[in-house]
Every structure is written in structure tokens, then in C-alpha cells.
Amino acid sequence: MSPEDIEARVLYKDQDVIVLDKPAGLAVHAGPNSPDHLEKYLDALKYGWSQAPRLAHRLDRDTSGCLLLGRHDKSIKRLGKMFMQGRIEKAYWTVVHGGPAADEGVVDASILKITGKGGWRIVVDAKGQPAVTQWRVLGRGDGLAWIECVPKTGRTHQIRVHMKHLGCPVRGDCYYGPDPSPGQMLHLQSRSIGVPPLSSGKDWIRVQAPPPPHMVQALFICGWQS
């Protein structure tokens, strides 16, 4: 990954925000296992400003798609408040193994982070934090289902755990699904984001990311047409 690669993935830009199509496999923050991460490249998105944009939220390393950045202190503060109030609209696309019997529904199942010697994972547990995901099937084919998920809460690994709870784990999910085929990546994308006006006289910002290359074949199988 290079600064030029990151700049080429900008989907939307104005004086307040940038929406980036984050690639799968790139962590957003530095960490013990993340020497390469998105924050290293944000200087490439200054566009002449003295301050680099900052993350308004986060996506898991293996999740691709729409990531919202704030370009200045005021927008970061406003976006943070909007996320807290649930006013930012987010929709995810995923391809899962099998599929739910119904074509749409809601998973309302609290989830809890469990930490042990081997690391941590998220489980459905009534003692955990409330978590709600609205979902609908967009297509099916060859033992797979293409599902749009709209999370009503923003918990870590929420969609992945809720899809497993439905009995249809996300394709390529090495934590919550069957062992992926060699080289198979997580089939979960932040498909679209909607941001209310950040100041008077402005319109809603609505941005969509194209499906990542590693999901295209499975989406075609389920009926997606480019």
C-alpha cells in the first residue's frame, strides 16, 4: 500500500469529511500485529491543509468499504455525536454460508467479549452489551446467500457474530465460521454510509463503495449484476 493507493480510494471529499474505500486486510490503527495501518497514510489526504483527516469510526482489518474521516476538529466532534446518537446510516453487504429461512428480519442478541489465553472473541450472551442488526436477503445461489445488514448498534464483530447466531456464518470468517479455503478473505463490506448535514444549508452525504474484488464472484453466484 502507498499514499497514492490510498488517495485513489477516496470516494467523496468536501470541506468537512472524506469517505474512503478502505481495502480489506489493512488495519485502521497501529497495533502489535499491524505495522502497516491506515493512519500511516492519512497525510496523503491533507489536500493542502495543515491537518491530516482523522478517523470518525473504525472498521475491522478484514472489512472493506466506506470509512468516514473528519477533516477538522469541529467535524470530528459533530460526527462523534452523530454516531453516539445513531444518526449515521450504515449498510453492509456480506455473503454467508447457507442462509436464513426468511428473507428479512432482525437479530436482537446481546454480545460479550471473552478474553482467554488464546486471545479474545465475541459471543452471544445475555450478560453482554445490547446489539441489534436488521437484515434482508438480496440473493441466493449455490449454498450461499447475499445479505444486506444494517447495524442499529456498533459493537465489535457484531455482524459476524449475529450472522453466526442466525446459523449462516460469513464466508471467509476464520473466527466465527468454518475454516476458509486457502486465500479466501472475509466477505463483509461496508457498502454505504449516510451522513446528516454537518452545517446549515448542506445536504445529506450518501456514498456507496463498489464491491471488493474478492467478493465479486460470490455476489455473481447470488444474483448480483455489476
pLDDT of 45 higher than 90? yes
Please report the DSSP string for the chain in residue order.
--HHHHHTTEEEE-SSEEEEEEPTT-BSS-BTTBSSBGGGGGGGG-TT-SS--EESS---TT-EEEEEEESSHHHHHHHHHHHHHT-SEEEEEEEEES--SSSEEEEE--EEEEEETTEEEEEE-TTSB--EEEEEEEEEETTEEEEEEEESS--TTHHHHHHHHHT-PBTT-TTTSSPPPTTPPP-EEEEEEEE--SSTTPPPEEEEPPPPHHHHHHHHHTT---
* Mean pLDDT, residues 191-213: 94
pLDDT at 70: 98
Q: What is the per-residue pLDDT across 94-109, written as a single tens digit (0 to 9) for each? A: 999 999 999 999 999 9
Domain ranges of the chain: 3-221
Pick the CATH number of 3-221 from 3.20.20.70, 3.30.2350.10, 3.30.450.40, 3.30.300.10: 3.30.2350.10
Q: Is 60 a catalytic residue?
A: yes
Catalytically annotated residue among 5, 14, 36, 60: 60
Q: What is the per-residue pLDDT across 74-96, written as a single tens digit (0 to 9) for each? A: 999 999 999 999 999 999 999 99
pLDDT at 29: 87
